[in-house]
């Protein structure tokens, strides 16, 4: 949700800022802006739309400033417009700020500031920060920011500058910020890809940190002014990993990366007869598992419930993180709370984690982004190592999350003294190859996408472990193609949704062979009897469905525990190719952002 970058150094800041913004566009892309210090003046450009519009405007200028800040926005308060785009300024155009987060008490602060004579230009909550800093500015930006933040409620990743100070002051509360340490240049950004072209040495700011940055170095203090010592860490990410590598979109690249991302999540974690994880917990006291997550990660949590209850034999509750945090949940020290998050920064998931920990639960994170806030706050963790996921629609993180949950369940079972079936270990070892084989459905899916791209509604059906896959297939289609789609447990449609079925309602059925296949077959029959068109995901040896369905997508035969990982791949491709055939911006779907760091 909003991307921030700031620069202090020897080079032209504008080029570095624009390049960084492009790498942060996955966080928001409804408008962008930058502000540079040039000869003790603030020079600012803003444009509505993607960063490319700002780049075009800036390219026509000869901008020489070496200190600057920039922002790509995902609107919360106020429509996408130049006025609402960041940076925001004080009344005298001496102070500029970029902000990611929500200032919850902005109305009260705004009224106070207006009563003191401040004039506001935008509808945003963020603008109060610029005016509040102005209110306290007496020659030191650091001091003014500290005083301003003492009045602020809510979340912020904030970077401020002043026309007559060649420095940046940044602060973090619940919205990520990292410092990039270069040679005679320092960067500050929402995320590593923004600065990776310049440095791999980063410092992760923590909540309550204030950073004072100039081209020579940086200091980190708390809001009481005490100097803090934060470690510089070397990030293990390459530029290659964050490029499209010839694919039309990041989403397609990430779908095709799944053989590799699955290999990564498995690497070093399977031995001859067991699973190796290093978890720091008191397993013997756990009587219940609670999993909380959002969106796609919530779908993998649902799959986790099936896997953990069956394999480990403990009760599992799954919550939307946004609901968990506000429903006064009953949690005790006998609970293990699992937070699943690709980004590790989702505000609701983070808040749910904090709530569970404060009530005494042990915690475990299943996270992709190394060093992210969830990863830092849990007692134990399983990193996915799926590599950067840049497409807003989550794909490879989902399959890696399910794999991690299966590893966890098997690990736990082994710890409890049971042998793990060699067959499942072997299938896990071959999972990347099987995923590769599954991707061979690509050309078949392209044809189907052409055929179905103009339909306005879709149903997705699955049973057991594949019910959450139906939810995920529907979510993928909704978010990137804007086609209305619903996922249901296959048996549930006769309790209502079947009323929608006619020849205009394509129904995607997850019909791979398992204990419930015959029942799914009956559901297909019910749809056919009402004129519905069935697209069935089948494995290669399930003839009865092949006879009934209108269209088939074939996937390899796998153990039922692995079936969600394999079955979702053609659904990801179907959503992708339908959206692409409609000419939509797949990596930047409207109204969405990759990392949802606000409530």
Strand partners, 67: 8, 37
CB of 270 to ligand M6R, least distance (A): 25
Q: Residue 337's closest CA among 317, 320, 307, 322?
A: 317
Binding-site size for ligand M6R (CB under 6 A) equals: 15
CB under 6 A: which stretch of 1-9, 77-85, 335-343, 404-412 binds ligand M6R? 335-343
One residue of 72, 394, 514, 563 binding ligand M6R per CB under 6 A: 394
One residue of 295, 329, 468, 570 binding ligand M6R per CB under 6 A: 295
One residue of 393, 431, 553, 569 binding ligand M6R per CB under 6 A: 393
Would you call 36 helix, strand, or coil by DSSP?
Answer: strand
**557 or 592, CB closer to ligand M6R?**
592
Check if the beta carbon of residue 441 is closer than 8 Å to that of residue 554: yes
Q: How many helices (H) and strands (E) does the chain have?
A: 19, 24
> What is the rounded distance in angstroms from the CA atom of residue 478 to the CA atom of residue 555?
23
Strand partners, 170: 159, 211
**149 or 508, CB closer to ligand M6R?**
508
* Beta carbons within 8 Å of 8's beta carbon, 6+ residues apart: 66, 67, 166, 167, 168, 185, 186, 213, 214, 215
CB of 394 to ligand M6R, least distance (A): 4
One residue of 155, 349, 523, 597 binding ligand M6R per CB under 6 A: 349
One residue of 190, 296, 533, 567 binding ligand M6R per CB under 6 A: 296
Would you call 193 helix, strand, or coil by DSSP?
Answer: helix
One residue of 31, 343, 512, 563 binding ligand M6R per CB under 6 A: 343
> What is the rounded distance in angstroms from the CA atom of residue 483 to the CA atom of residue 454?
9
CB under 6 A: which stretch of 56-64, 168-176, 390-398, 408-416 binds ligand M6R? 390-398
The verdict on 125 binding ligand M6R (CB under 6 A) reads no
State phi, psi for 67 to the nearest 5 degrees: -130, 130
Counting every residue written for the chain, the total comes to 599
> What is the rounded distance in angstroms from the CA atom of residue 558 to the CA atom of residue 399?
14
> What is the rounded distance in angstroms from the CA atom of residue 432 to the CA atom of residue 131?
54
One residue of 31, 346, 362, 563 binding ligand M6R per CB under 6 A: 346
The verdict on 174 binding ligand M6R (CB under 6 A) reads no
Which element (helix H / strand E) includes 470?
helix 467-481
> What is the rounded distance in angstroms from the CA atom of residue 339 to the CA atom of residue 329?
15
The verdict on 297 binding ligand M6R (CB under 6 A) reads yes
CB of 1 to ligand M6R, least distance (A): 10
One residue of 124, 341, 399, 403 binding ligand M6R per CB under 6 A: 341
SS (H, E, C) 323-342: HHCCCCCCCCCCEEEEEEEC
- In whole angstroms, how large is the CA radius of gyration of the chain? 25
Q: Residue 251's closest CA among 598, 569, 2, 591?
A: 569
One residue of 189, 392, 485, 538 binding ligand M6R per CB under 6 A: 392
Pairing outcome for strands 41-48 and 67-73: unpaired
**69 or 293, CB closer to ligand M6R?**
293
Catalytic residue among 22, 135, 513, 594: 594
CB of 537 to ligand M6R, least distance (A): 19
The verdict on 479 binding ligand M6R (CB under 6 A) reads yes
CB under 6 A: which stretch of 5-13, 85-93, 151-159, 343-351 binds ligand M6R? 343-351
Which element (helix H / strand E) includes 166?
strand 165-173
Is 35 catalytic? The answer is no
CB of 476 to ligand M6R, least distance (A): 7
The verdict on 103 binding ligand M6R (CB under 6 A) reads no
**87 or 365, CB closer to ligand M6R?**
365
Q: Point out which residues bind ligand M6R (CB under 6 A).
A: 294-297, 341-343, 346, 349, 392-394, 479, 592, 596
- Catalytic sites, residue numbers: 2, 594
């Amino acid at each position: 949700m909003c991307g921030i970058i700031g620069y202090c150094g020897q080079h032209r800041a504008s080029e570095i800022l624009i390049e960084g913004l492009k790498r942060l566009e996955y966080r928001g892309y409804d408008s962008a802006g930058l502000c540079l210090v040039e000869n003790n003046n603030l020079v600012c450009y803003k444009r509505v739309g993607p960063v490319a519009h700002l780049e075009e405007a800036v390219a026509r200028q000869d901008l020489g400033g070496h200190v600057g800040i920039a922002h790509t926005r995902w609107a919360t308060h106020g429509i996408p417009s130049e006025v609402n785009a960041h940076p925001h300024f004080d009344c005298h155009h001496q102070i500029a700020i970029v902000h990611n987060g929500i200032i919850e008490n902005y109305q009260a602060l705004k009224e106070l500031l207006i009563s003191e004579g401040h004039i506001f230009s935008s509808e945003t909550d963020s603008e109060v920060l610029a005016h509040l800093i102005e209110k306290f500015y007496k020659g030191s930006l650091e001091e003014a920011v500290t005083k301003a933040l003492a009045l602020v409620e809510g979340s912020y990743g904030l970077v401020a500058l002043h026309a007559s100070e060649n420095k940046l002051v940044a602060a973090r509360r619940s919205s990520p910020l990292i410092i990039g340490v270069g040679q005679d240049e320092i960067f500050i950004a929402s995320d590593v890809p923004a600065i990776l072209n310049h440095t791999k040495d980063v410092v992760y700011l923590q909540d309550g940190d204030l950073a004072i940055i100039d081209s020579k170095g940086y200091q980190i203090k708390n809001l009481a002014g005490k100097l803090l010592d934060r470690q510089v860490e070397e990030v293990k990410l390459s530029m290659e990993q964050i490029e499209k590598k010839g694919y039309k979109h990041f989403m397609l690249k990430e779908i095709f990366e799944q053989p590799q991302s699955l290999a990564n999540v498995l690497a070093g974690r399977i031995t001859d007869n067991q699973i190796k994880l290093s978890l720091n917990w008191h397993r013997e006291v756990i009587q219940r598992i609670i999993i909380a997550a959002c969106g796609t990660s919530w779908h993998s949590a649902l799959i986790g419930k099936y896997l953990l209850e069956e394999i480990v034999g403990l009760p599992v509750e799954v919550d939307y993180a946004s609901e968990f945090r506000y429903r006064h949940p009953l949690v005790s020290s006998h609970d293990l709370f699992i937070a699943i998050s690709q980004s590790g920064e989702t505000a609701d998931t983070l808040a749910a984690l904090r709530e569970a920990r404060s009530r005494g639960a042990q915690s475990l994170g299943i996270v992709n982004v190394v060093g992210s806030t969830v990863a830092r706050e849990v007692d134990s963790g399983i990193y996915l190592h799926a590599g950067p996921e840049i497409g807003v629609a989550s794909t490879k993180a989902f399959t890696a999350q399910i794999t991690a949950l299966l590893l966890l369940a098997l690990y736990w079972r082994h710890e409890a003294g049971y042998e793990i079936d060699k067959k499942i270990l072997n299938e896990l070892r071959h999972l990347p190859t099987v995923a590769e084989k599954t991707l061979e459905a690509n050309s078949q899916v392209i044809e189907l996408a052409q055929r179905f791209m103009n339909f306005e509604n879709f149903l997705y059906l699955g049973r057991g472990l594949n019910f959450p896959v139906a939810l995920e297939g529907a979510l993928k289609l909704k978010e990137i193609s804007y086609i209305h789609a619903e996922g249901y447990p296959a048996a549930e449609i006769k309790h209502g949704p079947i009323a929608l079925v006619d020849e205009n309602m394509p129904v995607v059925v997850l019909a791979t062979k398992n204990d419930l296949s015959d029942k799914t077959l009956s559901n297909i029959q019910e749809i056919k009897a009402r004129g519905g068109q069935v697209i069935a995901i089948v494995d290669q040896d399930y003839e009865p469905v092949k006879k009934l369905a209108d269209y088939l997508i074939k996937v390899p035969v796998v153990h039922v525990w692995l079936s969600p990982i394999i079955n979702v791949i053609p659904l990801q491709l179907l959503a992708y190719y339908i959206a692409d055939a409609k000419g939509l911006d797949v990596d930047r779907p409207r109204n969405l952002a990759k990392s949802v760091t606000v409530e």
